[in-house]
């Protein structure tokens, strides 16, 4: 296909030209504008019939506008319509076309993992691929929902949550045992068989057999009481209470729905909210709201179909999807999800009964969430207009980037970038920068800021040179005064970027909160009124950047605590490192050990012992 140019024809004539060569099989089509940007991705059972719909007037205003901008099309044929649907959703997530319904917040959800790669299983939060050996339970709607459940499960089943390294290093029970959150298997306070029984009870509870577990614990409590073992009876009572609290915190626990996602959609004023409730093992494991990008003329069926296709693109679907609105092609979506999950997936739109009540609850949440979001959006729009007025911008900014650094006397230095726009904080756009400059003086904030901005704009110019992907900021806020602003201006000039306004936010008189001064290149320093809402907004942005940079710095510092010279030796992984530290007590002691002592460590071969010895004694 020839490269389109700005002078290329667009519209119905272009689309009609493709009909002569299209077949009637299934496939995926892309509509592109004169700059070869993808406007829309769609799938079809019959490509020729589907594309012919675009070749004549009579479509919605949104589609007519898209057709008018279409300068070329691309096609991929597939063996089946199911394959076309899966390919369509992958392309939409990858290309983010302007005219498609788009799920903007496609994050992973946490699970509870009962890890089985140790004789005494560990219970913990898990996110990501299920590679570790063990039993997984989820998804939960949020980290908070997992943490609350884990907290109560520890009270109920007394399972360890410590790492294997900490487990192997204990010589006496830790605080978790003292506050009755763990049976201390690390020091032999419980047998392996009894601990395994507690693990099985926890798994049964998480699998939905909670009533049976509570009945057995109640029977054990009565037996202990009859035997006048009152301390044991009290402990069992506390465990039953903890399980009851887990169930009460979950809210509605449907009896007739074992495993499903309840998905409700509310549309209002060209905006949409999709509420998803996660039901697993007849328990409500939380809910999450999503705000897909839609147009005013998108139907509920179209939005729901697009959401389901994109939402489950990277997630395993449950056995049932319970929807508030029917989708465009239920059978096709069921087939695609079943192919992904390697088992049957059922899509329902209930009209009565318990499932309908679940949908009503989710729909109410979707309606209330969208109302709150629209109110917040109106406030945010007003604030952004105020920012534009305060800093003399051409219009309200749609992307504000705020930068801050964090370090302790130059150590573990990091830079943080947070992003805000019309919808509030854009957390998926946040970035951290590990300061790498070896020639920087420790604590040189100007140098650190220069490095961060140099790396940021070098990447922008490489990945989005034409500023078409919405990644370029309309305003830069820098934590600091005239010096930081001057340093940033120098970097921007080096990159040939001098059309982006920048403002330094400095603590004012007595470095008090509320007396901030604002610095701009070539302008006088000024301040806003103490009670100006724009001032509060700028403070929130700066505080969020500071929080993010501090958190990133602390994580880097904490990670470095466990780093030793042993990490630099090829062949010494986590297991051998633990064995060496357990044998010698410290990395310094390992560095002083002779060759015979190194060979005596379990898991350290003669060749590896020589490599370790040579590493510390400077021999090649």
Give yes or no for residue 408 having a pLDDT over 70. no
As a whole number of angstroms, the distance between CA 317 and CA 311 comes to: 9
Share of the chain above pLDDT 70, in %: 90
User: Which range is least confidently modeled, 182-191, 342-351, 464-473, 610-619?
Assistant: 610-619
CB atoms within 10 A of CB 315: 15
pLDDT tens per residue across span 427-440: 888 998 887 766 66
Helix (H, G, I), strand (E, B) or coil at 481: coil
Rounded average pLDDT over 453-457? 89
Q: Find where tokens 């577990």 sit.
A: 213
Predicted local confidence at residue 245, as pLDDT: 65
| pLDDT tens string 53-64 | 998 888 888 899
Q: How many whole angstroms separate alpha carbon 338 and alpha carbon 253?
A: 26
Is the confidence at residue 466, as pLDDT, over 70?
yes
Count H helices, E strands: the chain? 20, 18
As a whole number, the mean pLDDT across the chain is: 85
| Residues 6 or more apart in contact with residue 84 via CB below 8 angstroms | 26, 27, 28, 43, 44, 45, 78
pLDDT of 3 strictly over 50: no
* CATH no. for 400-560: 3.30.420.340
β-pairing, 346-348 vs 320-323, is parallel
pLDDT at 90 > cutoff 50: yes
Q: Is the pLDDT of residue 511 over 60?
A: no
Confidence of residue 442 (pLDDT cuts 50, 70, 90): low
Q: Are strands 475-479 and 502-506 parallel, antiparallel or unpaired?
A: parallel
CB 239 within 8 A of CB 213: no
The span from the CA of 601 to the CA of 198, in Å, is 34
For the cut 80, the answer to whether the pLDDT of residue 349 exceeds it is yes
pLDDT at position 8 is 58
What's the pLDDT score for residue 77?
93
The winner for highest mean pLDDT among 64-78, 237-251, 581-595 is 64-78
pTM: 0.70
List the domain boundaries for the chain: 12-95, 111-249, 259-371, 400-560, 565-617
pLDDT, tens digit, 9 for 90 and up, residues 300-312: 999 999 999 999 9
Query: To which CATH superfamily is domain 12-95 assigned?
Result: GIY-YIG endonuclease (3.40.1440.10)
Fold of 259-371: Nucleotidyltransferase; domain 5 (3.30.420)
Q: Residue 460's closest CA among 495, 502, 416?
A: 495
DSSP alpha helices (H): ranges in 37-132? 47-52, 61-69, 81-95
Instruction: Average the pLDDT over 28-39 and give the result.
Output: 93
pLDDT of 603 > 60? The answer is: yes
Q: 400-560: same fold as 259-371?
A: yes
Determine the CATH number of domain 565-617. 1.10.150.20
**pLDDT band of 482, cuts 50, 70, 90:** confident
pLDDT at 338: 93
Q: For residue 360, say if its preceding peptide bond is cis, omega within 30 degrees of 0.
A: no
Q: How confident is the model at residue 40 (pLDDT cuts 50, 70, 90)?
A: very high
Q: Which of 14-28, 298-312, 543-557 has the lowest mean pLDDT?
A: 543-557
């Amino acid at each position: 296909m020839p490269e389109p140019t700005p002078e290329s024809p667009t519209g119905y004539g272009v689309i009609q030209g493709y009909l002569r060569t299209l077949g009637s099989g299934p496939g995926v089509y892309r509509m592109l504008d004169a700059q070869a940007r993808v406007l829309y991705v769609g799938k079809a059972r019959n490509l020729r019939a589907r594309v012919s719909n675009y070749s004549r007037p009579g479509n919605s205003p949104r589609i007519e506008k898209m057709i008018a901008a279409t300068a070329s099309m691309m096609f991929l044929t597939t063996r089946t319509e199911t394959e076309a649907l899966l390919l369509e959703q992958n392309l939409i997530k990858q290309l983010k076309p302007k005219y498609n319904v788009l799920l903007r917040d496609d994050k992973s959800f946490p699970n509870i993992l009962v890890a089985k790669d140790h004789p005494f299983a560990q219970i913990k939060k898990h996110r990501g691929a299920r590679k570790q050996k063990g039993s997984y339970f989820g998804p939960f709607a949020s980290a908070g929902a997992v943490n609350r459940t884990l907290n109560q499960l520890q009270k109920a089943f007394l399972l360890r949550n410590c790492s294997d390294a900490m487990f192997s290093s204990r010589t006496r029970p830790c605080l978790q045992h003292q506050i009755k959150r763990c049976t201390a298997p690390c020091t032999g306070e419980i047998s392996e068989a009894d601990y395994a029984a507690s693990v099985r009870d926890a798994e049964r509870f998480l699998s939905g057999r909670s009533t049976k577990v509570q009945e057995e614990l109640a029977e054990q409590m009565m037996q202990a009481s009859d035997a006048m073992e009152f301390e044991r009876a009290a402990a069992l009572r506390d465990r039953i209470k903890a399980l009851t609290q887990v169930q009460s915190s979950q809210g509605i626990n449907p009896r007739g729905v074992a495993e499903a996602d309840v998905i409700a959609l509310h549309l209002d004023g060209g905006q949409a909210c999709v509420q998803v409730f996660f039901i697993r093992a007849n328990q409500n494991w939380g809910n999450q709201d999503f705000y897909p990008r839609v147009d005013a003329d998108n139907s509920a069926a179209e939005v729901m179909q697009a959401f389901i296709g994109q939402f489950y693109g990277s997630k395993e679907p449950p056995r049932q999807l319970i929807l508030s609105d029917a989708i465009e092609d239920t059978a096709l979506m069921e087939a695609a999800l079943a192919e992904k999950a390697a088992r049957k997936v059922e899509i329902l739109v209930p009209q009565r009964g318990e499932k309908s009540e679940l949908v009503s609850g989710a729909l109410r949440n979707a309606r209330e969430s969208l109302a709150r979001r629209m109110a917040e959006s109106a406030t945010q729009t007003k604030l952004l207009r105020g920012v534009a007025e305060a800093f003399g911008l051409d219009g309200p900014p749609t992307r504000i980037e705020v930068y801050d650094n964090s370090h302790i006397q130059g150590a573990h230095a990091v830079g943080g970038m947070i992003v805000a726009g019309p919808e509030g904080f854009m957390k998926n756009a946040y970035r951290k920068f590990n300061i790498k400059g070896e020639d920087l003086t420790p604590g040189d904030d100007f140098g650190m800021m220069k490095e961060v901005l140099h790396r940021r704009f070098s990447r922008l110019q490489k990945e989005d040179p034409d500023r078409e992907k919405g990644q370029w900021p309309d305003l830069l806020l820098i934590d600091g005064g005239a010096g930081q602003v001057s340093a940033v201006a120098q970097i921007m000039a080096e990159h040939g970027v001098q059309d982006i306004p920048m403002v330094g936010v400095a603590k004012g008189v007595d470095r008090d909160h509320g007396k901030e001064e604002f610095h701009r290149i070539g302008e006088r320093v000024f301040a806003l009124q103490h009670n100006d809402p724009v001032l509060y907004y700028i403070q929130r942005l700066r505080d969020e950047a500071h929080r993010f940079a501090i958190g990133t710095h602390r994580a880097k510092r904490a990670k470095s605590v466990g780093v030793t010279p042993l990490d630099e030796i090829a062949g010494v992984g986590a297991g051998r490192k633990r064995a060496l530290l357990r044998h010698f007590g410290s990395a310094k002691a390992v560095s002083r050990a002779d060759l015979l002592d190194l060979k005596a460590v379990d898991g350290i071969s003669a060749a590896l012992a020589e490599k370790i010895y040579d590493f510390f004694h400077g021999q090649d």
